[in-house]
């Protein structure tokens, strides 16, 4: 987890932005980024030489990396997209399409039909069109060439290898890495990598890259902060999409003695995938940082490489599950019908629903929450960004 010196000398101080996964919860990250844009001077350059993301966080990461030459404008574009979101921009919600997807999925899983083609419960082809249109993939190379960006990484899960693969694009001095179940591969990023990283298991189709099918990177990402450290980060800003408060609130609102609904079970599984690994990684990094301070620096390469990494974490101060439950009626009628039996459209099904609720009201409330949470940590953010507060 600590940063180790690579074979080529890197800049001594590089800030990294780490954006976790979480489906429609990714709107929260945009609110935090909007606050950062307001804190920075108007003529500021991209403050994050390293940007890493997974799942929905990967989408936000590549949007920022592609617009790194105009950082503030990139955040404004992200805010516009998330603020006007609707489910039909992410997956098809027509009655006939949902029925077709459900039938195809059932025929494949229960009767073995069309097993040569990947299937899913939802058709997310609209998301591919959106990502192909709105993200400037050529802008990544331009930003790297002009030294406004050191590297960008997005993580996907390889179904055959079982590895969390971080596909990264950056300066040629960055060495690939291989750890237990974690691999870093240099490449030129495109829409396929994004679709793979955000392909939530069963809900969205896995994506074939080269010879392997990939799905949502959060599935086996045991160390979400690790890619940033491998790319050379000395300090990390992590924008999460969950909080202990949200989990406590979900437990308090659940009726005691009643069996959990399918939506509650799925919600806990999604939380385990998208939330627990990041929280555990932050806790582990904190322990390693404390240990690093106790290690004497003898001047050897080993002692120089073992160094603490400053980490600032911003995560929701209010339970996203409860917010999603309030907005559940914003879902298209067709989707509400299909989710009703699972319990996702009840007040207790907010956890699972919060990952699929790509609707304007919910996303805008998360954007506002992210903005307020970031401003509540204004002093820490300004210190992290190297800004001096003028009174």
129 catalytically annotated: no
Over the range 271-281, which residues count as b (16 or more CB within 10 Å of their CB) and which as e? bebbbebbbeb
Q: What percent of the chain has pLDDT over 90?
A: 51
Q: Are 11 and 170 in contact (CB under 8 A)?
A: no
pLDDT tens column, 118-167: 778 899 999 999 999 999 999 999 999 999 999 999 999 999 999 999 99
The pLDDT value recorded for residue 339 is 79
Strands 182-186 and 164-170, by their bridges, are parallel
Of 184, 218, 186, 182, the C-alpha closest to 199 is 218
15-245+265-294+306-319+360-385 architecture in CATH? 3-Layer(aba) Sandwich (3.40)
Q: Are 218 and 273 in contact (CB under 8 A)?
A: yes
Q: Who's near 318: CB < 8 A, 6+ residues apart?
A: 243, 245, 246, 369
Q: Which of 38-47, 239-248, 362-371 has the highest mean pLDDT?
A: 362-371
The pLDDT value recorded for residue 257 is 59
pLDDT tens column, 255-283: 555 677 766 676 766 666 666 556 665 66
Q: Are 189 and 62 in contact (CB under 8 A)?
A: yes
CB atoms within 10 A of CB 372: 14
Q: Which of 55, 120, 166, 354 is catalytic?
A: 55
pLDDT tens column, 183-230: 999 999 999 999 999 998 888 999 999 999 999 988 776 678 889 999
The beta-carbon contacts of 329-335 under 8 Å, at least 24 apart in sequence, are 330/357, 330/359, 330/360, 330/361, 330/362, 331/87, 331/356, 331/357, 331/359, 332/87, 332/88, 332/93, 334/93, 334/94, 334/95, 334/98, 335/87, 335/93, 335/98
Of 39, 46, 53, 50, the C-alpha closest to 73 is 46
Between CA 307 and CA 337 the distance in angstroms is 53
End-to-end C-alpha distance for the chain, whole angstroms:
38
Q: What is the CA radius of gyration of the chain?
A: 21
Judge whether residue 33 has pLDDT over 50: yes
**Three-state DSSP class for residue 144:** helix
Between CA 11 and CA 72 the distance in angstroms is 24
Between CA 31 and CA 369 the distance in angstroms is 7
216 catalytically annotated: yes
317 DSSP 8-state letter: S
The pLDDT value recorded for residue 276 is 54
**Ramachandran assignment for 308, one of left (phi > 0), alpha (psi -120 to 50 degrees), beta (any other):** beta
110 or 330: which leads in pLDDT: 330
pLDDT tens column, 165-186: 999 999 888 999 998 888 999 9
117 or 81: which leads in pLDDT: 81
300 DSSP 8-state letter: S
The pLDDT value recorded for residue 108 is 73
Q: Which of 15-29, 210-224, 377-391 has the highest mean pLDDT?
A: 15-29
Q: How is the chain split into domains, by residue range?
A: 15-245+265-294+306-319+360-385
- pLDDT range class, residue 378, cuts 50, 70, 90: very high
223 or 60: which leads in pLDDT: 60
CB atoms within 10 A of CB 331: 22
Q: Which of 20, 197, 198, 216 is catalytic?
A: 216
Q: Which of 59-68, 238-247, 250-259, 313-322 has the highest mean pLDDT?
A: 59-68
Q: Who's near 85: CB < 8 A, 6+ residues apart?
A: 24, 27, 358, 359, 360, 363
The pLDDT value recorded for residue 17 is 96
């Amino acid at each position: 987890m600590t940063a180790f010196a690579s074979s080529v000398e890197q800049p001594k101080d590089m800030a990294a932005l780490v954006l976790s996964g979480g489906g429609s919860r990714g709107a929260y990250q945009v609110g935090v980024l909007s606050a950062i844009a307001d804190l920075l001077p108007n003529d500021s350059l991209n403050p994050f030489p390293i940007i890493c993301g997974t799942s929905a966080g990967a989408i936000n990461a590549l949007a920022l990396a592609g617009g790194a030459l105009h950082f503030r404008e990139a955040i404004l574009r992200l805010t516009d997209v998330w603020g006007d979101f609707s489910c039909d921009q992410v997956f098809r919600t027509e009655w006939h399409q949902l029925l077709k997807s459900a039938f195809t999925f059932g025929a494949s899983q229960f009767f073995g039909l069309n097993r040569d083609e990947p299937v899913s419960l939802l058709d997310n082809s609209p998301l591919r069109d959106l990502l192909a249109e709105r993200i400037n993939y050529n802008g990544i190379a331009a930003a790297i060439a002009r030294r406004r960006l050191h590297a960008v990484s997005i993580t996907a899960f390889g179904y055959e290898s079982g590895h969390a693969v971080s596909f990264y694009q950056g300066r040629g001095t960055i060495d690939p890495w291989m750890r237990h179940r974690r691999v870093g591969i240099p490449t030129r990023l495109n829409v396929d990598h994004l679709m793979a990283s955000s392909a939530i298991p069963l809900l969205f189709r896995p994506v074939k890259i080269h010879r392997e099918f990939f799905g949502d990177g959060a599935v086996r990402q045991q160390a979400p902060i690790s890619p940033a450290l491998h790319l050379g980060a000395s300090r990390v800003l992590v924008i999460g999409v969950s909080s202990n408060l949200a989990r406590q609130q979900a437990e308090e609102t659940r009726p005691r003695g009643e069996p959990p609904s399918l939506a509650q079970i799925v919600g806990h599984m999604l939380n385990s995938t998208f939330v627990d690994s990041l929280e555990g990684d932050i806790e582990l990094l904190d322990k390693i940082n404390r240990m690093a301070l106790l290690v004497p620096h003898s001047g050897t390469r080993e002692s120089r490489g073992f160094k603490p990494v400053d980490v600032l974490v911003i995560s929701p101060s209010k339970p996203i599950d409860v917010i999603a439950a309030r907005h559940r009626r914003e879902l298209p009628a067709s989707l509400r019908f299909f989710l009703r039996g699972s319990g996702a459209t009840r007040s207790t099904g907010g956890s699972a629903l919060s990952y699929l609720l790509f609707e304007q009201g919910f996303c805008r409330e998360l954007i506002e929450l992210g903005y307020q949470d970031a401003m509540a940590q204004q002093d820490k953010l300004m210190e992290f960004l190297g800004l001096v507060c003028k009174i």
